[in-house]
Amino acid sequence: MTNFKRMIDSAQKAMIHVLNLNKEDKVLVLSDENTKTVGDAFQNAAIDYGCSVDLYLLPEKSRPLLEIPTELSELAERKTIVINVFKGLSDETPFRVKWIKKILNTKSIRLGHGPGITKSMMIEGPMNIDYEMMVETAEIMKKRLENAKKAHVSAPGGTDIVLDIENRGFSTDVQIIKAPYFANLPCGEIWCGPVESKGDGIIVCDGSIGDIGKVKKPLKISVKNGKIVKIESKDKNLVKEVEKLTRLDEEASVIGELGIGLNPGAKLSGILLEDEKALQTAHIAFGNNTDMEGGQNTSITHRDFLFYKPTIKITYKDDSTKILMKNGNFSF
C-alpha cells in the first residue's frame, strides 16, 4: 500500500469515527500548498465514501490571513462537514478563531480542525489508533470530572497552579455528539475553559507552545487571578515572542483552557496539534474559549502551553478530593 493510500485510509477512518461521515454529507476541505497532499487525501476519502466535496486552497500571497476570504464563506454555505488541514502560522490565529466561530455558528456543520497536520501524523501514529478505546477513556475521565470545583495541577518541571473549574464542563473531540461539533484532527483530548477571573500559580512549559514548537529552555508563566503577570525563561527571544502573542489584545493573557491528552498514538513532535493529544501531557492555554462550556474569553487569539507528566488533584463541590492523574498516569 502506498503512503498516499494510507493517508486516504486514515482520513476516512477519522471522518467516520470522529465526524460521523455519511454518504449524504457535503464536505469542504480547506488546505494550502504546504499541506495539499493531506488535503487531497481527505478529498479522496470523502469522494470514495460517496460524498460531494469542494477543495479550497488558502491564497498564499495573502498570508498570514486576518479575515475570511469571501469565496471561502460562500463555499461553506450548505456544507455539513468542514475539514481544515493547512500549515499552522502563529500570526494567523485570529483568522482561525474567526473561521471556527463562523463554522460553529452554522448549526449543521461538524468541523475537523488540523492546523499543522503532517503526512507523518496521517501515516504513522495519532490518526491510526483504536478510536473506541480512546472514547472509553474520555468518557471515564469526563465522568470523574462531574461536579468538579477546583483543579490543582502540578508537574515535575515546576508547574503548580490551582484553577477554578466549577460549572465549566469538560468536552472531548474523540467522537461526535451532535452538530455543531468541533474536533481536532488528529483528535484525542478532554478540555474545559476554567473561570477566567480566577487561577493562581505557576505554569512551566517544558514541552511545546502552539504555533511556536518545542521550547529549547523551559518557559515560566506566573498567573494571578487568571491573568499572566510575568513570563521568564533563559531563552530571551522566546520570552519576547510569547509576550507579543499574549498581548494581542486585553484577554490574550487571560486563562482560556485546561486540556489533557488521551491519544496513545500521538508523539511529541514539536507540533502542538499532535503534542497536546499525547498521553502523559497536559496543557493550559490563554485566550479565546467562547466555544467551551461557560467560556467568557473573547480574545482574537488562543495559545497553548504544554508540560509533561502532570499530577491533577480535583476538589469537588462537596469538598471531597480525588487524584485524577499522577505523574502523567490516569488514576483508574
For the chain, give the mean pLDDT. 95
| pLDDT < 70: residue spans in the chain | none
Determine the pLDDT at residue 84: 98
Determine the pLDDT at residue 230: 98
The terminus-to-terminus CA distance of the chain in angstroms comes to: 38
User: Residues 46, 53: contact at Cβ < 8 Å?
Assistant: yes
Determine the pLDDT at residue 177: 75
Q: What is the pLDDT of residues 148-180, one digit of tens each?
A: 999 999 999 999 999 999 999 999 999 887 888
CB burial string 89-100: b at 16+ within 10 A, e below: bbebbbbbbebb
Determine the pLDDT at residue 179: 82
Q: Which helix (H) or strand (E) holds 35?
A: none
Determine the pLDDT at residue 13: 94
Determine the pLDDT at residue 27: 98
Determine the pLDDT at residue 1: 74
Distance of CA 118 to the CA centre of its chain: 15
Each domain of the chain, given as residue ranges in start order, spans 3-124, 131-178+186-330
Determine the pLDDT at residue 124: 83
3-state secondary structure of 71: helix
How far apart are alpha carbons 292 and 259 in whole angstroms? Answer: 12
* Architecture in CATH for domain 3-124: 3-Layer(aba) Sandwich (3.40)
β 148-154/311-316 pair status: antiparallel
